[in-house]
């Protein structure tokens, strides 16, 4: 197939609740929605860069620049025989995985639609619902955190992840455990600690945590191996795994026992699937993380999560946890059993709400046709 037209839109959406992590606080999501047209079909993807270079070095501005000047010209009007071809087309551009993802996901959506199959089936996934967890940011007080967790537990979420940072860790986790003794609970430090903190992580071993995510350097896999050797709680890597090679290195070094896979972080679904397969071969479970995507990126995350080695609930929550009104209609909803149903229409199976998309678009650019 040949992509005839590419449309980029920068979108800004207010978050229903500010999201605070060890690197800062966001009240709004900024993201790039990608629309690809080909043979009368429309494919969608999302580059959920966020506002500043905090989680990743990428921002909406760098995505726009790299897509406009380097990625779109490589994709437009080229013969693509399968979605894996996009990896080769984009390979000369080093890094910039979030920028690549929106375009790459759009290609997957087109191929699945052309095959008349839901993206989940097209990827080889068999689940018709996926287990949904929720990521809870740092709050002003422990009481507020307990209230927020309580509300998510009441809604039925299958597990809760809380963000930690120095000064908001052991005591907070202890309070959460006291109040919710049976909750499937995990932590995410977003790189806020160092190897000097081994004793702190050994104390956290006492709270029956599913895992601790990215405790150390954002680009480290060596110190994480040293930490993992000293604690019982499984280490899960997020920021450190940006290519399939990083996953292999982390497995060989013993840097983690679980991997968080986000299409945005690794450059799209091709790399996500490779990391999934590699972890499966080595007996490491994976789960799907998130970047506060709108319903468009979320639909891709839902489809990806249907692959068999996604064995733990992901940060793939209902639309309402992020946005008052999502870009897709109907929005993603949480079932009472803590799952999200996998759409059964062709491709991403989600219908873009064009009015909502127009209302949230702050700039757009069309290439081709
Ligand atoms: O570290 O997993 C993270 C959100 C933005 C950037 C990084 C992270 C997160 C989350 C929430 O934890 C994921 C989500 O619910 O989309
Ligand atoms: Mg994380």
pLDDT tens digits, one per residue of 4-29 = 999 999 999 999 999 999 888 999 99
- The neighbour count for residue 350, using CB atoms within 10 Å, is 27
Please tell me the predicted confidence (pLDDT) of residue 51: 85
**Quick one: pLDDT band at residue 99, thresholds 50, 70, 90?**
very high
Please tell me the predicted confidence (pLDDT) of residue 276: 98
- The neighbour count for residue 135, using CB atoms within 10 Å, is 22
Please tell me the predicted confidence (pLDDT) of residue 150: 98
Ligand 2 centroid to residue 143 C-alpha, Å: 23
- Indicate the top mutation candidate among 289, 332, 340 to test ligand 1's pocket, ranked by most ligand atoms within 8 A of CB: 289
For 213-259, what is each residue's pLDDT tens digit?
A: 999 999 999 999 999 999 999 999 999 999 999 999 999 999 999 99
Separation in Å, CA 224 to CA 133, 197, 234, 260, 265: 24, 12, 11, 15, 19
Please tell me the predicted confidence (pLDDT) of residue 24: 87
| 94-115 average pLDDT score | 98
Domain 5-116+350-368 in CATH: superfamily? Enolase-like, N-terminal domain (3.30.390.10)
Q: Are 235 and 255 in contact (CB under 8 A)?
A: yes
Q: Is the per-residue pLDDT at 193 higher than 90? A: yes
**Quick one: pLDDT band at residue 79, thresholds 50, 70, 90?**
very high
Go through the chain and tell me how many residues it has.
369
Give the closest residue (by CA) to ligand 1 atom 12: 135
Q: How far apart are the first and last CA of the chain?
A: 15
What are the residues whose beta carbon lies below 5 Å from ligand 2 (ion)? 188, 213, 238
Supply the mean pLDDT for the chain.
97
Q: Are 326 and 14 in contact (CB under 8 A)?
A: no
DSSP letters spanning 172-226: HHHHHHHH-TT--EEEE-TT---GGGHHHHHHHGGG--S-EE--S-TT-SHHHHH
User: Percent of the chain having pLDDT more than 70?
Assistant: 100
Ligand 1 centroid to residue 359 C-alpha, Å: 25
- Indicate the top mutation candidate among 315, 318, 321, 322 to test ligand 1's pocket, ranked by most ligand atoms within 8 A of CB: 315
What span, in angstroms and rounded, lies between the C-alpha atoms of 173 and 184? 12
Domain boundaries, the chain: 5-116+350-368, 121-341
User: Which atom of ligand 1 is nearest to 161's Cα?
Assistant: 12
* Residues tagged active-site: 163, 262
- Indicate the top mutation candidate among 57, 137, 188 to test ligand 1's pocket, ranked by most ligand atoms within 8 A of CB: 188
| Pocket-forming residues, ligand 1, beta carbon under 6 Å | 55, 135, 188, 190, 238, 289-292, 315, 317
CATH for 121-341 is 3.20.20.120
DSSP 68: I
Ligand 2 centroid to residue 293 C-alpha, Å: 14
Please tell me the predicted confidence (pLDDT) of residue 50: 84
Please tell me the predicted confidence (pLDDT) of residue 356: 98
Ligand 1 centroid to residue 76 C-alpha, Å: 31
Please tell me the predicted confidence (pLDDT) of residue 162: 98
């Amino acid at each position: 197939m040949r992509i005839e037209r590419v449309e980029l839109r920068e979108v800004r959406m207010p978050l229903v609740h500010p999201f605070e992590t060890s690197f800062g606080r966001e009240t709004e999501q900024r993201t790039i929605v990608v629309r690809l047209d080909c043979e009368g079909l429309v494919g969608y993807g999302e580059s959920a860069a966020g506002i500043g270079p905090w989680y990743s070095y990428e921002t909406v501005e760098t995505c726009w620049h790299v897509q406009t000047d380097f990625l779109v010209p490589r994709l437009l009007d080229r013969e693509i025989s399968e979605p894996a071809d996009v990896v080769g087309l984009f390979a000369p551009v080093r890094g910039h995985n979030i920028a690549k993802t929106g375009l790459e996901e759009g290609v997957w959506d087109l191929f699945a639609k052309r095959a008349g199959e839901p993206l989940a089936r097209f990827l080889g996934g068999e689940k018709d619902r996926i287990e949904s967890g929720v990521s809870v940011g740092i709050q002003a007080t422990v009481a507020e955190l307990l209230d927020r967790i309580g509300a998510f537990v009441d809604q039925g979420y299958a597990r809760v992840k809380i963000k930690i940072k120095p000064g908001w860790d052991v005591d907070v986790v202890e309070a959460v455990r006291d109040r919710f003794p049976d909750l499937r609970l995990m932590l995410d430090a977003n790189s806020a600690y160092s190897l000097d903190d081994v004793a702190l992580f050994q104390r956290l071993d006492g709270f029956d945590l599913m895992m601790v995510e990215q405790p150390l350097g954002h680009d480290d896999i060596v110190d994480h191996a040293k930490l993992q050797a000293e604690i019982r709680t499984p280490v899960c890597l997020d920021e450190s795994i940006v290519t399939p090679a990083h996953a292999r290195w982390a497995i060989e070094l013993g840097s983690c026992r679980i991997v968080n896979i986000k299409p945005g972080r690794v450059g799209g679904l091709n790399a996500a699937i490779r990391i999934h397969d590699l972890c499966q071969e080595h007996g490491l479970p994976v789960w799907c993380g998130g970047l506060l995507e709108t319903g468009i990126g979320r639909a891709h995350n839902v489809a990806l999560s249907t692959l068999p080695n996604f064995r733990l609930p992901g940060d793939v929550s209902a639309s309402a946890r992020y946005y008052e009104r999502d870009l897709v209609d109907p929005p993603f909803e949480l079932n009472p059993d803590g799952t999200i149903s996998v759409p059964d229409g062709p491709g991403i199976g989600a219908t873009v709400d064009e009015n909502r998309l127009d209302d949230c678009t702050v700039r757009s650019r069309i290439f081709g046709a």
